Protein backbone atom coordinates (compact mmCIF):
# COMPACT_ATOMS: atom_id res chain seq x y z
CA UNK A 1 0.00 0.00 0.00
CA UNK A 2 1.33 3.39 -1.00
CA UNK A 3 1.74 6.54 1.07
CA UNK A 4 0.75 9.88 -0.41
CA UNK A 5 1.36 13.21 1.34
CA UNK A 6 -0.02 16.43 -0.11
CA UNK A 7 1.27 19.92 0.60
CA UNK A 8 1.00 23.44 -0.75
CA UNK A 9 -2.57 24.29 0.15
CA UNK A 10 -3.53 27.60 1.67
CA UNK A 11 -5.54 30.76 1.23
CA UNK A 12 -5.37 32.78 -1.96
CA UNK A 13 -7.35 35.60 -3.51
CA UNK A 14 -9.48 35.10 -6.60
CA UNK A 15 -7.30 35.23 -9.68
CA UNK A 16 -4.28 33.99 -7.76
CA UNK A 17 -2.15 30.89 -8.11
CA UNK A 18 -1.07 27.94 -5.99
CA UNK A 19 1.06 24.89 -6.60
CA UNK A 20 0.16 21.66 -4.85
CA UNK A 21 2.62 18.82 -4.35
CA UNK A 22 2.12 15.16 -3.52
CA UNK A 23 5.05 13.10 -2.26
CA UNK A 24 4.65 9.39 -2.98
CA UNK A 25 6.32 6.37 -1.43
CA UNK A 26 5.81 2.64 -0.99
CA UNK A 27 4.99 1.81 -4.60
CA UNK A 28 6.44 2.11 -8.08
CA UNK A 29 5.48 5.72 -8.70
CA UNK A 30 6.86 5.89 -12.21
CA UNK A 31 4.67 3.01 -13.37
CA UNK A 32 1.25 4.37 -12.50
CA UNK A 33 -1.19 7.10 -13.44
CA UNK A 34 -1.64 9.74 -10.76
CA UNK A 35 -4.62 12.00 -10.11
CA UNK A 36 -6.01 14.95 -8.22
CA UNK A 37 -9.53 14.74 -6.79
CA UNK A 38 -11.20 17.56 -4.86
CA UNK A 39 -14.02 17.87 -2.37
CA UNK A 40 -15.77 21.05 -1.32
CA UNK A 41 -16.90 21.32 2.28
CA UNK A 42 -19.88 19.02 2.76
CA UNK A 43 -19.82 18.12 -0.93
CA UNK A 44 -19.00 15.05 -2.99
CA UNK A 45 -15.84 13.93 -4.72
CA UNK A 46 -14.89 15.54 -8.02
CA UNK A 47 -12.09 14.27 -10.25
CA UNK A 48 -9.87 17.17 -11.33
CA UNK A 49 -6.96 15.86 -13.36
CA UNK A 50 -4.83 12.82 -14.11
CA UNK A 51 -1.39 12.23 -15.66
CA UNK A 52 0.08 9.13 -17.24
CA UNK A 53 2.98 7.22 -15.75
CA UNK A 54 5.55 8.84 -18.04
CA UNK A 55 3.99 12.28 -17.76
CA UNK A 56 3.25 12.65 -21.46
CA UNK A 57 -0.55 12.40 -21.25
CA UNK A 58 -2.70 14.65 -19.08
CA UNK A 59 -6.47 14.78 -18.68
CA UNK A 60 -8.55 17.54 -17.09
CA UNK A 61 -12.10 18.11 -15.96
CA UNK A 62 -13.79 20.81 -18.04
CA UNK A 63 -14.08 23.03 -14.96
CA UNK A 64 -10.28 23.40 -14.67
CA UNK A 65 -9.08 22.98 -18.25
CA UNK A 66 -6.87 25.86 -19.30
CA UNK A 67 -6.32 26.99 -15.70
CA UNK A 68 -4.73 23.96 -13.98
CA UNK A 69 -1.68 21.99 -15.08
CA UNK A 70 -0.77 18.57 -13.75
CA UNK A 71 2.80 17.31 -13.87
CA UNK A 72 5.10 14.84 -12.21
CA UNK A 73 8.76 14.26 -11.38
CA UNK A 74 9.38 10.54 -11.43
CA UNK A 75 12.94 10.98 -10.15
CA UNK A 76 11.54 12.66 -7.03
CA UNK A 77 8.35 10.54 -6.78
CA UNK A 78 6.32 13.74 -6.70
CA UNK A 79 3.08 14.83 -8.33
CA UNK A 80 2.17 18.48 -8.84
CA UNK A 81 -0.87 20.59 -9.62
CA UNK A 82 -0.29 24.15 -10.76
CA UNK A 83 -3.48 26.11 -10.23
CA UNK A 84 -3.85 29.50 -11.91
CA UNK A 85 -6.74 31.96 -12.23
CA UNK A 86 -8.27 30.53 -9.10
CA UNK A 87 -11.98 31.06 -8.41
CA UNK A 88 -14.14 30.77 -5.34
CA UNK A 89 -15.57 27.50 -6.64
CA UNK A 90 -12.09 25.98 -6.57
CA UNK A 91 -12.20 26.08 -2.77
CA UNK A 92 -11.90 22.47 -1.63
CA UNK A 93 -9.74 19.82 -0.09
CA UNK A 94 -7.50 18.46 -2.83
CA UNK A 95 -6.59 14.78 -2.63
CA UNK A 96 -3.77 13.10 -4.47
CA UNK A 97 -4.70 9.57 -5.59
CA UNK A 98 -2.88 6.66 -7.19
CA UNK A 99 -4.41 5.23 -10.30
CA UNK A 100 -5.27 1.61 -9.72
CA UNK A 101 -6.89 -1.39 -11.26
CA UNK A 102 -9.46 -0.81 -13.96
CA UNK A 103 -9.70 2.96 -13.63
CA UNK A 104 -10.06 3.04 -9.85
CA UNK A 105 -8.07 5.00 -7.29
CA UNK A 106 -6.14 2.61 -5.08
CA UNK A 107 -4.51 4.92 -2.55
CA UNK A 108 -5.32 8.41 -1.35
CA UNK A 109 -3.49 11.10 0.55
CA UNK A 110 -5.11 12.92 3.44
CA UNK A 111 -5.70 16.03 1.38
CA UNK A 112 -4.65 19.68 1.44
CA UNK A 113 -7.11 22.55 1.81
CA UNK A 114 -7.27 25.30 -0.78
CA UNK A 115 -9.36 28.37 0.07
CA UNK A 116 -10.02 31.02 -2.56
CA UNK A 117 -11.49 34.15 -1.02
CA UNK A 118 -10.91 37.89 -0.73
Partner 1 sequence: IVLTQSPGTLSLSPGERATLSCRASQGVSSTYLAWYQQKPGQAPRLLIYGASGRATGIPDRFTGSGSGADFTLTISRLEPEDFAVYYCQHYGSLWTFGQGTKVEIK
Could you say which of 5, 53, 58, 61 contacts partner 1 (CB under 8 A)?
A: 61
Closest CB to partner 1 among 14 and 63? 63
Nearest approach in angstroms of CB 103 to partner 1 is 3
C-alpha separations of 105 from 5, 32, 35 in Å: 15, 11, 8
**Only segment of 11-19, 24-32, 74-82, 101-109 that touches partner 1 (CB under 8 A):** 101-109
CB atoms within 10 A of CB 30: 14
Contact 36, 49 (CB under 8 A): yes
Q: According to the binding rule CB under 8 A, does residue 27 interact with partner 1?
A: no
Amino acid sequence: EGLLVESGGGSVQPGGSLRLSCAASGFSFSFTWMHWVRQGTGKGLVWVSGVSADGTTARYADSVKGRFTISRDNAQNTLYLQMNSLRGEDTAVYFCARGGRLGSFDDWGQGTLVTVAT
